[in-house]
Chains A and B, each alone.
Chain A
Amino acid sequence: MPHSRMRFVAGRILRNEGHGDIFYRLEASVPEPVEFEPGQFAMVSGWPGSDPLLPRPLAIFRAGAGQKGKGTVEFVYKVVGRGTALLSGMHPGEPLSLTMPLGRGFDLGGDGRLYWLVGGGVGFSTVFPAAAALGRRRAEHEMFLGSRTREQLPPKEWTPGGSAPGRVHLCTEDGTAGYFGRVTDFVRERMAALADADASRLTVLACGPREMLKDIALAASARGAEMQAALENHMACGFGVCWGCVVALREGEKTSYRRVCREGPVFDAREVVW
């Protein structure tokens, strides 16, 4: 039986390969299959020594069945610091520690909704599982992916549903692929052009830089659309005990600090104090 409750498990690297300049795709074997909600994440470590000390939070990209009743889990990550640099140097066969699945993922519950999935930079690794789930359900959805340049977009074969026409919109800041400009601007343009009836049934699911999330959240709110934003933050534990990863949320008249790892990482964008 796959487990959907968090566990701390020993895994083993099956694959850890670089793609383009910046992404790595890591696949690990784990003792049991994992069932996760799109948007949930794992705390991953395995490099030797205690510097850095803490595991890295990585969105779960895919999970499946492995050999002999075991499970597999995949992550796509970008090298941003010492921890991910050390992780990128690890080889198949080497051990990993994983705590997963963690946090609250996207709510894909609404029938008749129109979903727009927006991934900025490596944020696609968080929204692709949601796209796959919506695709399985044949829910109406489109995807918007942005990066600085063509090489920093995800390989086509990773995209759920492949490249169905009109389904996936690429944006590059240098114009080397798709829309010439930021994904934020493209989404805002499309949102402004949306018929009222469609805007009111639109749910945006987004992960990426904070500025991108903020600007799209404001645009969505102006059109009366819903938005769920997957936030990132530095984390020590990942399962709610250190209180290090909080963000300010609006709750009625007040603001409260809520944990990205536990109450998030997916939040109703209207509640986030940007």
Chain B
Amino acid sequence: MVKTDLSVSLGTLRLKNPVMSASGTFGYGLEFAPFYDISRLGAIVVKGLSLAPTPGNPPGRIVETASGMLNAIGLQNIGVERFIADVAPRLSDAGATFAANIYGRTTDDYSAVASRLSELPSLAAIEVNASCPNVKEGGMAFGATAEGVARLTGAVRKSTAKPLWVKLSPNVSDIGSVAAAAEDSGADAVSLINTIVGMAVDHRTRRPKLSNVTGGLSGPAIKPVALRMVWEACKRVKIPVIGIGGIQTAADALEFIIVGASAVQVGTANFRNPRACVEIIEGMEAFMREERLPGIDSFRGKLLL
């Protein structure tokens, strides 16, 4: 039997397979070590890191909706210094490939986090969160327009030589132009989509179910929107596109690759099934064997229209 090769290239970065964990759904990665060998993942993208630890939003942070969930966590995190001191060495010891999602209120904040993380030789990439819908400053405030994304990407580009990914918001009218703005400003890849802004209300108490009032929708409910936006971005940019949004199975992941994604990130599925990422990797291997496909590139972007 021929050994299946799932490896993919994201610019200069070679990943053993195209399956990564999505930031914010995988903690700092080590939490999944009891469930499987975390070095099996293409990469782990850790929870968004800011310069200082962030407390996050008050409780009333999540609510379930039909085939999905809304969250308004507000980027609670341990801060970049503790990540570097306590977490990164353990991820390296576990043999994991890992990328850091970063977040700040201003472009200077983002640059400072990126610059500090660049000192970590073991860090594979930096993913700029230009799309969190649950914080008042930063995040989606940048990602809402092509100009904002260009400004943020350009600033972070100057402070790191690491592969730079920009995570985009779906809450825009033309995802293609936003992706192009990231590409033109020095991004090595774009990842999309982050969550879709949504809301849930209790009709008896007449109150919003989230303390933040609105939150980000994720899960299988958003997959069709994600797939369409990834397809549009892939048509527009030459840099690799990382597909995210409602991926639960190998078939879901393969759909994103067929519309042109070079890799995928699995998010909310990790909550439902802690082994989701490895089951997706195994499912993709099985599919490639069945179809006798030599590699991911042999069907990437091969959508028949």
Contact = CB atoms under 8 A, between A and B. Distances in A.
B56 interface: yes
17 contacts: A8-B275, A83-B64, A97-B273, A233-B59, A234-B62, A241-B31, A242-B24, A242-B71, A243-B56, A243-B61, A243-B73, A243-B76, A246-B59, A246-B61, A257-B58, A257-B59, A257-B76
A51 B27 contact: no
Interface of B: 24-27, 31-32, 34-35, 47, 55-56, 58-59, 61-64, 66-69, 71, 73, 76, 219-220, 248, 268, 270-275
B73 A53 contact: no
Contacts of B273: 8, 97
Contacts of A8: 35, 273-275
A99 interface: yes
Contacts of A244: 61-62, 71, 73
* Top 9 A-B residue pairs of the complex, sorted by shortest distance between their CB atoms: A244-B62, A241-B27, A237-B271, A236-B271, A50-B67, A8-B274, A244-B61, A51-B67, A243-B73
Given A53-B69, A54-B272, A240 B62 contact: no
A221 interface: no
A186 to B, nearest CB: 29
B32 to A, nearest CB: 8
Contacts of B56: 243, 246, 257
Given A54-B69, A236-B69, A99 B62 contact: no
Interface string A122-150: 00000000000000000000000000000
B270 A237 contact: yes
Contacts of B32: 241
Helix, strand, loop or mixed for chain B's interface? loop
Given A243-B47, A244-B61, 20 more contacts: A8-B273, A50-B248, A51-B66, A53-B219, A54-B69, A83-B64, A234-B63, A235-B62, A236-B62, A240-B31, A241-B26, A241-B270, A242-B24, A242-B25, A244-B62, A244-B71, A246-B56, A247-B59, A248-B59, A257-B55
Contacts of A6: 34
B174 to A, nearest CB: 30
B268 A53 contact: yes
A45 B64 CA distance: 14
Interface string A238-274: 1111111111100000001100000000000000000
Interface of A: 5-8, 45, 49-55, 83, 97, 99, 233-248, 256-257
B59 A53 contact: no
A50 B64 CA distance: 11
A253 to B, nearest CB: 14
Given A236-B268, A256-B55, A50 B220 contact: yes
Given A8-B273, A241-B25, A242-B271, A54 B64 contact: yes
Contacts of B272: 45, 53-55
A241 B46 CA distance: 10
B213 to A, nearest CB: 16
B233 to A, nearest CB: 25
Most buried by A among B32, B66, B271, B274: B271
Contacts of B31: 239-241
Contacts of A83: 64
Contacts of B219: 50, 53
A233 B62 CA distance: 10
Contacts of B64: 52-54, 83, 234
A201 B113 CA distance: 50
Nearest to B32: A241
B271 A241 contact: yes
B58 A248 contact: yes
Contacts of A242: 24-25, 62, 71, 73, 271
Nearest to A82: B64
Contact of A53 (B24, B47, B67): B67
Nearest to A83: B64
Contacts of A99: 274
Contacts of B248: 50
A6 B220 CA distance: 26
Most buried by A among B47, B59, B68, B268: B59
A246 B271 contact: no
A124 B242 CA distance: 47
Contacts of B59: 233, 246-248, 257
B34 A54 contact: no
Contacts of B68: 53
